[in-house]
Every structure is written in structure tokens, then in C-alpha cells.
Copies of this chain bind each other. A is one copy, B any other.
Amino acid sequence: MAVFTPVSLDDLSGWITQFPLGKALSIRGISSGIENSNFFINTDSGEYVLTLFEKLEAEQLPFYLELMRHLAERGILVPAPVANRDGKILHQLNGKPAAIVSKLAGESQLAPQPVHCAELGAMLACMHMAAEDFPIRQPNLRGLEWWLQTTPTVLPYLPPELQQLLSSEVKFQQDFAAGQVYAELPLGPVHADLFRNNAMFVGENLTGIFDFYFAGCDTWLFDLAVTVNDWCVDLDSGALDLPRLQAMLDAYRAVRPFTAAEQQAWQPMLRAAALRFWLSRLYDFYMPRAAEMLTPHDPGHFERILRLRISEAVPALA
């Protein structure tokens, strides 16, 4: 279970008095998440999620929490940080930065159908536009700079064929990011980790998206590509599932039409999104921290996705 810092009901009971939530009634660790310790907490006023930030730097946290507040205030269905009596949303518990956010109703849809992908695509476009005027800027900390820095660390562990794939793809992405098309892509705060387990549905209705702790400023197209590479692929083969892909793109496009630059950048961006997760999984696989030992992800999944995004024709965005 991914709880690194235990929190007892006793710990919680005193701490929670700064919020107008009444008494803490119960606390229960959540077994997902590799970056934070998460808990469902029950209070007199309802159920919430408590997060203790294990690795994120204190100066990065306002970006994530204020972004969630900004989006929630604009009606985007995301967990809303709970302010204490002084209006503060970032706190300290058991020596760690901590926050309480509202709990989304529903469950993750791990076998999404086109209707789910359409819901998500539309909300993603709305989210991009709602975040456009968010005043805090923080880069995607798992972007190109991180790829360039991390690649030399993992390369020595890889067999020659994978060394070749990784090196050449990073080079390709470096060139792509330096080009004119990339420079024209619209950008802003993005989720950057919108996998199937980070959205909730009640039936076919999307009730919200969560886990903004990889969010950062990046191109909107990158965010869409990350999302497509998880929601619209066959998880065994990594191949794109065209009905789901079409549903997501149609719904996104209906809210915000794609620019000419985005249409040109689509296939390179799908590769970039695959590279980002292949690389982080390689890194976690070969350089495991205590946390990742508990929830190993197979790097091969995104290696397959990357190979397919390189080799296969990708339907045009237009």
C-alpha cells in the first residue's frame, strides 16, 4: 500500500480542528499513487481525501493546489482544496506538507468505451481553456529537459537495441521541440498524467479528473497525446483503438478546434507522450525508490506504444 507516512485517527483529530469539517470519524489509506500518501477521511461534514506530499518540493505545491482551486472555481470537475479558517489550503501534518481536497463521486472506468473517451476529451478541452488564465507558471517537470537529463542515467542498463531506440527518439524529440511547428502550438497548464485511474465516472457520466501532481505548463497537444496513449489504445498491444480515438478527438475538437500546427504535430506528439512514460518507467525500474518497489510498472508497455506511434500510420487530427 502506498502510504509512506502513517496518519492515525489521533494525529488527524487534533489537526483537523483548523477546518470547519467537524470531527474526524475515520481514516483509511489509499493503495494507489506512488508519489504521495493518500487517505480517505470521514468527518462530520462528509468524506474527503487527505494527501501528504512525500517527494514534491514545497515550492511546487502551490501550483498544483491553486490550479485545482482555479479549475474548481470555474466549474471544471476536479477535487477542490479545502481552506482552513485562515483561507489556507496548504498545511503541514506529521512533518509533511499536506492538503485536504473534496472527494469525487464514482469509480474509475478501466475498460473505457468510446462514450467515456468522448466525455473525457470534451472535459480535457474545457480544462485547457479554463486554465489558460491561471497566473502561476511552472514547467512540466517531466518534459524535454528531464528526458535529456534522465536518458544518460538509464542508457547503461539497456540492451543495445533499446539504447538505440531511446537515443534516437530523444534526439528526434529535441529537434521537433526546436522547430517552427512546435513553437506555434498553444500551451498552458496541463494535467500531463491523465490515465484511466485518474478519472471518475458514474455510469457513462464523467464526474471528474484528479491527481494534478504531475501538472505543469506544456502544450495542450502533449496533454491530449498522453491521454490518448492510455485511453484509446489496446492495453495488450498498445495499438490505437480507432473508435475510442475518434470519439475522444471529435469531442475535444468540438470544444476547441485544432490549429494547423497541432494537426502537423500530432504524430510526433504521440511519440513524445509515449517516450515520457517509457523513460520514467525505465528510470523507476532501474533506479527504484522504496515506493516504486510496491507498484512496479512494466516499462515494456510504453516501449511498445512508442514503437507503434513511430511505425504506424496515425489518423490525422483534422
User: With an 8 A cutoff between CB atoms, is A298 at the interface?
Assistant: no
User: With an 8 A cutoff between CB atoms, is A275 at the interface?
Assistant: no
Which B residues lie within 8 Å of A228 (CB)? none
Q: A302 to B308: give the CA distance in the assembly, Å.
A: 70
Question: How many residues of chain A are within 8 Å of chain B by beta carbon?
Answer: 43
Which B residues lie within 8 Å of A202 (CB)? 105
Q: Which residue of B has the minimal Cβ distance to A77?
A: B46
Q: Is the CB of B19 within 8 A of A74?
A: yes
Q: How far is the CB of A80 from chain B (nearest CB, A)?
A: 7
Q: Which residue of B has the minimal Cβ distance to A85?
A: B133
Residue of A19, A44, A80, A202 contacting most chain B CB atoms (<10 Å): A44
* 18 CB < 8 A contacts A-B: A20-B132, A21-B74, A21-B126, A22-B125, A22-B126, A22-B254, A22-B255, A23-B254, A43-B126, A44-B122, A45-B75, A46-B123, A48-B75, A72-B72, A75-B80, A75-B100, A105-B105, A105-B202
Chain A positions near chain B (C-beta within 8 angstroms): 19-23, 43-48, 69, 72-77, 80, 82-85, 87, 100, 102, 105, 122-123, 125-127, 129-130, 132-133, 202, 205-207, 251, 254-255
